[in-house]
Amino acid sequence: MRKYLLGFAAGIVVVLLVGFSYVRFGFVNSCADMPVNSMESMMAMPALDASVARRAPEVPNPVSPTDDNLVAGMKIYQANCATCHGDVHRPEAMLADALYPRAPQFVDDAPDMPENQNFYIIQHGVRLSGMPAWGQTLNAQQMWQVTTFLSHMDKLPPQVSDAWKTAAGGPAGSSSPAATPTMDMHGMNMGGKKMNMQ
Ligand code: HEC
């Protein structure tokens, strides 16, 4: 029995060593511009969902979906998120295929997680992915506004939808200067003051 246990423990050590060496000595491809490995996404997506579900505080969204809040959220989204997540004229974002894991393209695939979980992801970002932690640059009010915009993206009132079309510039490929989504580093705070809501 003792021999059996020792053999079992040695087996586990060997498997761990092989796994460690595989990662540590460069056998894992680090390029972002390659097809997403189905094994990795099968593991990583549920792991991310579970981690967020476990950690995101169960808080209600303090921002109501008025046109003003939706427009404010849209402006924050357009300035900071559209490059990776797409916009009304470019449902396939400029960086859609340039990230690993890929950034979800929200125009075609609206985020369906509870708002407190979306807020948590926006605030803290996602480690080892391109998703930044916006709690560093946006205040709580702004993060709730963009969260509210996300959960209404597929059912925007016509006025907000029109404002988005204007803010996003011309359709993809048009010569309007706003047609190329850019990371607007200066616009990130949108002139708002940092508010501490938690
Ligand atoms: C530089 C690219 C980039 C920018 C800019 C960016 N994101 Fe992301 N985002 C990502 C990536 C990549 C993921 C996927 C992470 C993963 O699956 O591990 C992601 C995931 C998310 C998710 C989780 C979606 C889901 O269904 O799991 C939300 C919500 C989100 N982003 C919102 C935003 C908001 C709001 C902004 C702007 C304030 C933003 N992101 C800006 C790259 C970006």
Q: Where are the domains of the chain?
A: 62-189
How many Å lie between the centroid of ligand 1 and the Cα of residue 173?
24
Pocket (CB within 6 angstroms of ligand 1)? 48, 77, 80-81, 83-85, 95, 99, 101, 103-104, 111, 113, 118, 121-122, 126, 129-132, 134, 146
The CATH number of the structural domain formed by 62-189 is: 1.10.760.10
Cβ neighbours of residue 172 under 8 Å, at least 6 residues apart?
89, 90, 179
* DSSP reduced 3-state for 83: helix
pLDDT digits (tens, 9 = 90+) for 49-103: 999 999 999 999 999 999 999 999 999 999 999 999 999 999 999 999 999 999 9
Rounded to whole angstroms, how far apart are CA atoms 179 and 176?
A: 5
Cβ neighbours of residue 120 under 8 Å, at least 6 residues apart?
52, 55, 56, 57
Token duo for residue 71: 């427009």
How many Å lie between the centroid of ligand 1 and the Cα of residue 125?
7
Task: Give which of 89, 65, 85, 68 is closest to 164, Cα–Cα.
Answer: 89
| Long-range own/partner contacts, residues 192-195 (CB < 8 A, 24 or more apart) | 192/138, 192/139, 192/141, 192/142, 193/139, 194/139, 195/139, 195/140, 195/141
Which 8-state DSSP code applies to residue 192?
P
User: pLDDT at position 176, please?
Assistant: 44
Q: Which atom of ligand 1 is nearest to the CA of 138?
A: 38
Q: Are 115 and 58 in contact (CB under 8 A)?
A: no
Q: Which atom of ligand 1 is nearest to the CA of 150?
A: 35
Along the 198 residues of the chain, how does pLDDT read in single tens digits? 889 999 999 999 999 999 999 999 999 899 999 998 898 888 888 999 999 999 999 999 999 999 999 999 999 999 999 999 999 999 999 999 999 999 999 999 998 899 999 999 999 999 999 999 999 999 999 999 999 999 999 999 999 999 999 999 977 655 444 444 455 544 454 444 444 444
How many Å lie between the centroid of ligand 1 and the Cα of residue 4?
48
